[in-house]
Amino acid sequence: MNEKLLGQLTQTAVAWVLACLFVGCAVVGGEVPAAASSKEMSSLRGTGDMGVIIERGDGSVLIVETTTETVLARIEGLGDLSHASIVFSRDERYAYVFGRDGGLTKIDLLTASITKRIIQSGNSIGGAISQNGQYVAVSNYEPGGVRIFDSSTLELVADLPAIASDGTTGKTVGLVDVPGQKFIFSLFDGGEIWEVDMKSLPPVVTKHVGVGKQPYDALVSADGRHYIAGLFGEDGMAHLDVWYPEKGVQRILGDYGKGEAKLPVYKMPHLEGWAIAGNKAFVPAVGQHNVLVVDMNNWQQEGTIPVHSQPVFVMARPDGRFVWVNFAFPDNDTLQIIDTETNAVVHTEKVGKTVLHMEFTPRGEKVWVSVRDENKVCIFNTETFTQEKCLAAKKPSGIFFTDRAHRIGL
């Protein structure tokens, strides 16, 4: 290209840019859209700082905002929420509520309304949403099995009865999503772990048999690699490395459980409540007043932390520095905080009667705590460990913030 032509092109380009700055210009595919009016802008909002609180006594939920720490709305008519849990659509607009009565309810956070509600079984125990957000799966006690639905329409796309290799039927538990468009769950009565590949329909199911007696709950690590099921019928846990499923299920933590002493267990700990900080997992001991420290490199216990009572949830602040612990009846009025650097309890707080659940804000500056029998949800500063505010709620239990939409297994 000669210098004269280059100079002409440069002058043309400069003139075009100046014209766009002062007059406005078209873009490929049409005109630049007009700016929204101030009225339109004021009616728009994001969902990244929203959440849902279960009001288990009334079959209702509260929609809340973590920025202003306020209740935005209440939605009623969701059935039996005595053991309810929630997952979110990937755009964080919709929440899927799994009720104990078999109800699956899709609610719209922006309009504070029920989009659709179905009764898909007689008794369900939680659910999961697929990696791409296309499918919602529900784990059932009665009639057992897992049912999978289109997340947009709640139309059934797959029905997986829980029939073990020996013909045993029964409950399914520990349902989670993992990378690769898969769900994983356990058969309580059949002692199996199933992987469900949803990349095509009908789904492809891989069954791991003989994993242990009565897996009662499970979790998946935050990176989606480790699926771990607790065993109610014997000590120990079952571990599936999702990266290498062909290696099968391995037994780990052989002493984890009720032990030979058969201590009274007031409530089995929730495995979802494992706290992971670095390469260490902080695990609630069964029937003991301890939190166990586990090395995730070899899945061996490396320490024991004495705590106030039998732990239920052991949950790490998002940065992993501190772990917050709540406890089973009759000592369920208390929270304790563990420093993960020293493995020592650094704070104990009496919160109120029947603390059921905790949820950290997305970056961990606050934690919300449900106090069922005092009809309140209290908000704590996680740096100072001080209670700053409480919100009224009717028998609150689970607290779920929308950032879960982008976290594996939640």
Please determine, for residue 8, whether its predicted confidence score (pLDDT) is greater than 60: no
Q: Which residue's structure tokens are 């997986």? A: 160
Q: How many other β-carbons are positioned within 10 Å of the β-carbon of residue 275?
A: 22
What was the pLDDT predicted at 38?
Answer: 42
d(CA 56, CA 86): 13
Buried b (16+ CB within 10 A) or exposed e, 74-103: ebeebbebebbbbbbbeebbbbbbbbbbbb
pLDDT band at 267; cut points 50, 70, 90: low
What was the pLDDT predicted at 158?
Answer: 98
Give the whole-number percent of the chain exceeding pLDDT 70.
86
Please determine, for residue 209, whether its predicted confidence score (pLDDT) is greater than 50: yes
Q: How many other β-carbons are positioned within 10 Å of the β-carbon of residue 383?
A: 12
Global confidence as pTM: 0.88
Residue 273 φ then ψ, to 5°: -85, 5
Task: Encode pLDDT of 268-298 as tens digits.
Answer: 666 776 788 888 999 888 888 999 999 999 9
Give 220-231 as a DSSP string: E-TTS-EEEEEE
Cα torsion 135, 189, 218, 48 to 10°: value is 30
11 vs 79, residue with greater confidence = 79
Cα torsion 78, 81, 86, 91 to 10°: value is 20
Residue 282 φ then ψ, to 5°: -105, 120
